[in-house]
Structure 1
Amino acid sequence: MPYLTNKQSTYEKDTVCQLLKMAGINLNGPEPWDLKVNDDRFYHHVFGQGSLGLGESYMAGYWDCNQPDVLLYRVLSANLEERIPHNLRTFIHFIKSKIFNEQSVRKVQKDIRRHYDLGNDLFKAMLDKRMIYSCAYWRDAKGLEEAQDKKLDLICRKLQLKKGQRMLDIGCGWGGLAGFAAEQYGLEVVGITLSPEQASLASQTYRNLPVEIRLQDYRSVTEKFDRIVSVGMFEHVGYKNYPKYMSVINNILTDDGLFLLHCIGSNKTVTHTDPWMHSYIFPNGMMPSIKQIGAAAEKYLVMEDWQNIGTHYDLTLMEWLKRFQYAWPNLKDKYNQTFYRMWVYYLCCSAASFRAKKNNLWQIVFSKPTNHAPYQAVR
């Protein structure tokens, strides 16, 4: 840490304290969302680096909180991230996102594997039996397993699936949706992913169903499909590639086909992601806005339905956190304590963003202009 005078140190501490008070958070206070400072380096990290410093100082153990999800919800609700200047690392990331295509074929393969190849043991411990790593649908659901099945069935009903159809699952993960559609609706499914760990497990799990799992980028798909679905993948596409993505969908979707996009969406149009999330969780990930999706799709597709189920993601993430913490004794020999704090912060910060409605979860159904059949929205 660079040398600080007592005057500088006091100013940083006072500034951080006043900012947190604006969100109803007191340092070393009695409430479960109050922040306990373990190391005074916390103040310098947050003052100088904003959201990046807040996350990094938690990973380093400089602060603790009994309910970090509530603390982060309060921080986001009070828009504190807009009140601290961005640092040089944030500025460089912003400039790179403007100049370069950070989600090129070569770069995105590396970024996807950094997160999704962390270890199937980690995700098995945290997720449901189908290993669905996306927002569940909790309406009338009694637990995560049922909530994820309800989400999968909701998607299938929105796509109006019929036996014998051929479906492409872009970013298929561990194959849960592909297997569900093949089992329950009699579809032939092709799933594509850039994660070798996902592809290997999905291929093995659904080897007895009409499911083909490929290690393939969406940009290289050329054959036609009756239905296309993408769940939790569009966040890795990048704003420079949104038009290309929609062009590919247009080219490979049959004239009477349907496409469902399930993705996290931002209230604001941005060209980069949160610096802490970029550095530690989803390198070069990006949340699209309504404007960006609309502009990319308008040349190719017709929007048939748009639903926001973002509040369901808060519940999903908190259930994942509970399962992760319960499983930690069996994981800690492979993943160290810094990883534990990083993963807890990731899940809590994500839950807080949906609770504060900074992020949304959209399910959007598209058709091609050649499909003149009336579409009945499903809820």
Structure 2
Amino acid sequence: MGSKTLSPLQISPMRPSLSRRRVTSLLEQADIHIGGDRPWDIQVHDERFFRRVLVETSLGLGESYMEGWWDCDRLDEMVCRILRAGLLRQVRSWRDVLAYLQARLLNLQDRRRAFHVGEQHYDIGNDLYQAMLDRRLIYSCGYWKEADTLDAAQEAKLELICRKLDLQPGMRVLDIGCGWAGAARYMAERYGVEVHGVTVSRQQARYARDLCRDLPVTIELKDYREIRGHFDAGFSIGMFEHVGYKNYATYMEVVRRCLPPDGLFVLHTIGGNFTETHGNPWVTRYIFPNSMLPSIRQLGAAFEGRLIVEDWQNFGPDYDRTLMAWYVNFERAWPELRPRYGDRFYRMWRFYLLSFAGAFRARYLQLWQIVLSPQGRPRRYDAPR
């Protein structure tokens, strides 16, 4: 019999199996098995998962999870293993190229886009954050050095920042990205300072004003570039991730002009091990629009000629523990939250919390507290720990 030519329709079923072999091989480098019985192994429910991950990488991984194509009992540990094995550097997609080009050609964090993250993320519902966070609604890494609960870790973080700023009664303090004003209220009550906070979230601003109505705390709904006035000290907790590399120098100029020559500013931010110009495609689409993480190189360039670095502390592993505490709270509250948010949101939020926990556990992400001053302190600065 002669050879028979196969049509494209007959060939196409082979493609998923080729994709499956490629993904399986990659995951085995991280000791992750398809259909395995360990908590970090993946259970695939839809064969399209394999090709989608190869074509769309991180975006495809997150979206296919949201759509129920696969499951994993310990997403946090799975992501940790993927990052430790360096798998992200082995797979690139056109989505990654597009994200790079957009970030290079556009200022994704300009004034016009400044309020997008407030509308999409922080304004989705205070009930969610009240259920997930600590009692002060501090939405950033806790300091677990001597803490054994989420509330204690967040209070320890706030106290650490206050001590680094050397707060004294009567000082005027700037809070860039004040959130629900948990930090502003803490400082006003404990240290007798006046706090001026700014946020891009309407829900946060409304809540913060009510929370601090009897304290010397002012809350404004505005972009950091619009800040005017003079302050004795300042800080920013978990906001710098929304600034964007094209605006780092502008941000530092705002800090410089608002403080006296020897004033102190604490920058509390997530940082990345590698210099990038854009954020993770899945994170920027579903969680933090137009976000990206700074690198040491980018921050150094922004500081140069503008601010002096007095201290740089890294306690990134504490964010793993913080995120896992948030996840436990979220899971506990989900039966009450479910009617409003729905099952797709549940899978999205679960992927968000656990994948970030895994990234910090792998030391792929860091948490930096950097103490800055326009011209430096006249005497040696010994940072509290």
**TM-score when normalising by structure 2:** 0.96
Match of 1:23 among 18, 21, 30: 30
Say which SS state the counterpart of residue 261 (structure 2) adopts.
Answer: strand
The answer to whether the Cα contact below 8 Å between 2:178 and 2:197 also exists between their aligned partners in 1 is yes
Per-residue CA distance 1:350-378 (angstroms, 9 max, x = gap): 11111111110000001121642331111
Q: d(CA) in 2 for partners of 1:377 and 1:305?
A: 7
Aligned to 2:91: 84
Structure 1 residue 313: Cα displacement: 0.2
Q: How does 1:287-302 map to 2 (within 5 A)?
A: 287-302=293-308
Say which SS state the counterpart of residue 371 (structure 2) adopts.
Answer: strand
Per-residue CA distance 1:41-69 (angstroms, 9 max, x = gap): 11121121111111111100011111111
User: What amino acid is the match of 2:144?
Assistant: W
Per-residue CA distance 1:53-103 (angstroms, 9 max, x = gap): 11111100011111111111111111111212212x332221110011100
Q: d(CA) in 2 for partners of 1:284 and 1:200?
A: 24
Say which SS state the counterpart of residue 265 (structure 2) adopts.
Answer: strand
Match of 2:238 among 232, 237, 243: 232
Q: Identity rate of aligned residues, in percent?
A: 49
Gaps of 5+ in 2: 1-8
Structure 1 residue 3: Cα displacement: 10
**TM-score when normalising by structure 1:** 0.97
Alpha-carbon RMSD across the aligned residues, in angstroms, is 1.3
Q: d(CA) in 2 for partners of 1:135 and 1:190?
A: 22
Aligned to 2:5: none
Say which SS state the counterpart of residue 11 (structure 1) adopts.
Answer: helix
Change (3 A) 1:303 1:4: farther
Structure 1 residue 298: Cα displacement: 1.2
Match of 1:102 among 102, 108, 113: 108
Match of 1:39 among 31, 38, 46: 46
Aligned to 1:369: 375
Q: How does 1:139-288 map to 2 (within 5 A)?
A: 139-288=145-294
The answer to whether the Cα contact below 8 Å between 2:54 and 2:93 also exists between their aligned partners in 1 is no
Q: d(CA) in 1 for partners of 2:303 and 2:11?
A: 51
User: What amino acid is the match of 2:99?
Assistant: H
Say which SS state the counterpart of residue 287 (structure 1) adopts.
Answer: coil
Structure 1 residue 4: Cα displacement: 7.6
Q: d(CA) in 2 for partners of 1:133 and 1:27?
A: 34
Say which SS state the counterpart of residue 379 (structure 2) adopts.
Answer: coil
Deviating beyond 6 angstroms after TM superposition, the runs of 4 or more aligned structure 1 residues are: none
Matched, 1:357 2:337: no
Q: d(CA) in 1 for partners of 2:90 and 2:382?
A: 45
User: What amino acid is the match of 1:21?
Assistant: E
Q: d(CA) in 2 for partners of 1:266 and 1:316?
A: 18
Aligned to 2:350: 344
User: What amino acid is the match of 1:67?
Assistant: R
Structure 1 residue 228: Cα displacement: 0.8
Larger radius of gyration: 2
Change (3 A) 1:230 1:4: farther
Q: d(CA) in 2 for partners of 1:169 and 1:54?
A: 36
Structure 1 residue 255: Cα displacement: 2.1
User: What amino acid is the match of 2:189?
Assistant: E
